Chains A and B, each alone.
Chain A
Amino acid sequence: MTVTAPIVVHGLNHAFGKGALRKQILFDIGTEIPQAEIVIVTGPSGSGKTTLLTLVGALRSTQEGSVQVLGQELCGAKPAILEKVRKQIGFIFQQHNLLNALTALQNVELGARVRGKFRHSEITERARQILQAVDLGERMNHHPEQLSGGQRQRVAIARALVGEPAMLLADEPTASLDKQSGREVVERMQSLAREHGTTILLLPMTTAFWTLPTASFTSKMDVFQRSQIQ
């Protein structure tokens, strides 16, 4: 039985701006990432790591080339397809991007509800559990502005993980975490990959990450090694 890899990228080009200001960021990227793999995307600052991540996460329209995620071609895809793919992906943004009007718990519930596979009572229970796991059990009913930067980021991580997504895309997820909680988050990601076959794409992070034994990652891959960097 051959299973298509959850991420298959071919000849991907991406540019920002128009006319004379047009600047191409991604040049002919091609890669294939198998299921349950944890891949770290590396490359110099400004090389388009975040752009690649948002393209794979269906958050940005593909301009040229082919991006297949979870069996769906994203280049020129209809909104319904993009929504379907996004629902299956947990995305941890560089900024926390929490909804200010909602409490931490409600923010996390949003992540579980969109998956559409949990019952109503289950959603709240799961959100509670995961917030406790990221050490925010006491601050569940606080609004984002009442939380510190690191706590907000942990809420955002909980929101991405709560739905047990088929794929996790993380843009410097532990940047604002201390060593201990950064480590816990990474361990949680690893167990997701192990137990649920979640494919994980990470952008490089702070030292908390590198203190873990390298063997604990399935692979470290420089996506940009195989492509041009300007």
Chain B
Amino acid sequence: MFDLKEGTDANLTRDRLKKYLPKDVLVMTCSDFANREKAYWNAATPIGFIFAFGAIMGFVVGAIIVYQILFADVSEHLNEYATLRALGYPNRFISGIVVQQAMILGVLGFFPGVAGVYWLSAKATAATHLPLYITEQRALSVFLMTLAMCAISALLAVRKVRRLDPADVF
């Protein structure tokens, strides 16, 4: 481990050192080492894969649940949606209403979700010794993905209204 003088370019020093040393010696800067470790845990062990898979499954299951909720709600109010269409409101307007509902579901679900995640990640870290960090950026991207998931479910759920003639419902 070398400590470099302030103002020295770490990458440059690394490249110079490499020239003097045989090929089987690795010379790395601090960030090189971090990246190498991350790549190892993600690619060489199943942890990265399992984690990504879990995240995707969460997305899909979430989408299906939101779809079920919205579909039941749309079916219950089919008559009223058909009335709006009969009055001349465009399909876009109807979809907008259902997407709005989905967004409300998404926001309401997210914050209890975050609380749950804090609690669970503390437990999981203690149990598995895997470092789990919840950064603001990560929370934000999960939030945006939650909203996207809800919007997709909403557009799927509203298809029933779009397909029918208003008069079929009355």
Contacts and interface: CB of A to CB of B under 8 A. Distances in A.
Interface of A: 54, 57, 59-61, 79-80, 83-89, 91, 93-95, 97-101, 110-111, 114, 159
Contacts of A61: 165
A60 B168 contact: yes
B87 A93 contact: no
Contacts of B167: 54, 57, 59-60
Interface string B73-90: 000000110011111111
Contacts, number: 56
A112 to B, nearest CB: 10
User: Which residue, A59, A84, A88, has most C-beta atoms of chain B within 10 A?
Assistant: A59
Contacts of A110: 84, 87
A83 B79 contact: no
Given A79-B91, A93-B170, A114-B87, A60 B165 contact: yes
Interface in B59-100: 79-80, 83-91
Interface residues of B, number: 16
Contact of A86 (B80, B86, B168): B86
Contacts of B80: 97, 99-101
A21 to B, nearest CB: 16
A170 to B, nearest CB: 13
Nearest to B162: A79
Given A60-B165, A60-B168, A114 B83 contact: no
Nearest to A61: B165
B162 to A, nearest CB: 8
Contacts of A111: 87
8 contacts: A54-B167, A57-B86, A80-B90, A95-B170, A97-B79, A97-B170, A98-B83, A111-B87
A57 B90 CA distance: 15
